Chain A
C-alpha cells in the first residue's frame, strides 16, 4: 500500500518570495512521482513528474522538484512566486508495479499576496 503526505495544508507567501511545498510518501515498491496544480473551479494540470534519471526535475511555470529516495520525499520549489501561482497543489504517486492509478495527497493551498 502507498500513502502520500503533504505536510502543509496552507502556505502563505509574498509575491516574488520563494516557496517550498513538502511531500513525503511511503510505499513498499518504487514509485513514480508527480506534482499537479489546480486553479479555482478547474481540473488538474501537471507541473512536473519524476519517472527515472536525474533527481532534480524541472517543470512548467518555473517550478522544480527534487526526488530524495532515502527520505522518501519529493518537495516542490519555486524561487520567486507570482500572484497567479495562487492555487491548490497536489503531490501524487504511481507504484511502478501498478497499472497507473494515481494516489494523491490532501493538497497544499498556496496563497500569494502582494
Chain B
C-alpha cells in the first residue's frame, strides 16, 4: 500500500487569492473525499469524487471546487480565499462499490493559513 499523500504540507495565502491543494490516493482506491478541519473542531465534509465525477457535496460554497484525475489523484481548489478558510484540509481515499468496507485512508493534511 502506498497510502495517501498530500501536498503541500503547509501553505500561507492572502485573502482573495486562489489556492490548489493536491492529493495522491492510495493505490486501487477509486473514490476521494475532501474534508476541512478548523482548529479545535471535527472534520467537515466538503465533497467526494468517484471515477472523476462529483457524487456528493457538503455545505460549502461553489468557490470550493475539485477535480479527480484518471490516475485517481485529485485537487481541491478554493477561490477568493477568506480568513475563515484557514484550516487543515484532509484528503481521504477509499474503494467504493462491490467489496467496499468503508476503509477510508486519510492523508496527513495541508495546513492552510489565510492572512
A-B contact count (CB 8 A): 64
- Whether the pair B100, A101 counts as a contact (CB closer than 8 A) is no
Task: Enumerate chain B residues within 8 angstroms of A4, measured Cβ to Cβ.
Answer: 42
- Whether the pair A90, B106 counts as a contact (CB closer than 8 A) is no
- Whether the pair B31, A107 counts as a contact (CB closer than 8 A) is no
CB < 8 Å: which of A32, A49, A101, A107 contacts B56? A101
Q: Give chain A's interface residues, CB within 8 Å of chain B.
A: 4, 32, 34, 36, 41-46, 49, 51, 90, 92, 94, 98-107
Other than the given A46-B103, A104-B42, A104-B43, 13 more pairs (CB < 8 A) read A34-B102, A41-B108, A44-B90, A51-B102, A90-B43, A99-B48, A99-B55, A100-B100, A100-B102, A102-B45, A102-B92, A107-B41, A107-B42
Task: Enumerate chain A residues within 8 angstroms of B66, measured Cβ to Cβ.
Answer: none
- Whether the pair A90, B100 counts as a contact (CB closer than 8 A) is no
Task: Enumerate chain A residues within 8 angstroms of B106, measured Cβ to Cβ.
Answer: 36, 43-45
Task: Enumerate chain A residues within 8 angstroms of B55, measured Cβ to Cβ.
Answer: 99
Task: Enumerate chain B residues within 8 angstroms of A41, measured Cβ to Cβ.
Answer: 108
Query: Complex: how many Å from CA A4 to CA B56?
Result: 20
Rank and list the top 3 A-B pairs by shortest CB-CB distance, nearest first: A104-B42, A43-B106, A44-B106
- Whether the pair B43, A100 counts as a contact (CB closer than 8 A) is no
**A101 with B42, Cβ < 8 A, contacts A51-B101, A51-B102 known:** no
Query: Complex: how many Å from CA A104 to CA B41?
Result: 9
Task: Enumerate chain B residues within 8 angstroms of A36, measured Cβ to Cβ.
Answer: 106
Q: How many residues of B contact A (CB 8 A)?
A: 29
Query: Complex: how many Å from CA A104 to CA B35?
Result: 10
Most buried by B among A34, A101, A106: A101
- Whether the pair B42, A43 counts as a contact (CB closer than 8 A) is no
B96 interfacial by beta-carbon distance below 8 Å: yes
Task: Enumerate chain B residues within 8 angstroms of A100, measured Cβ to Cβ.
Answer: 31, 33, 48, 56, 94, 96, 100, 102
Chain B residue, CB-CB nearest to A4: B42
CB < 8 Å: which of B45, B58, B102 contacts A49? B102
- Whether the pair A102, B43 counts as a contact (CB closer than 8 A) is yes
Query: Complex: how many Å from CA A54 to CA B61?
Result: 40
Most buried by B among A34, A44, A94, A99: A44
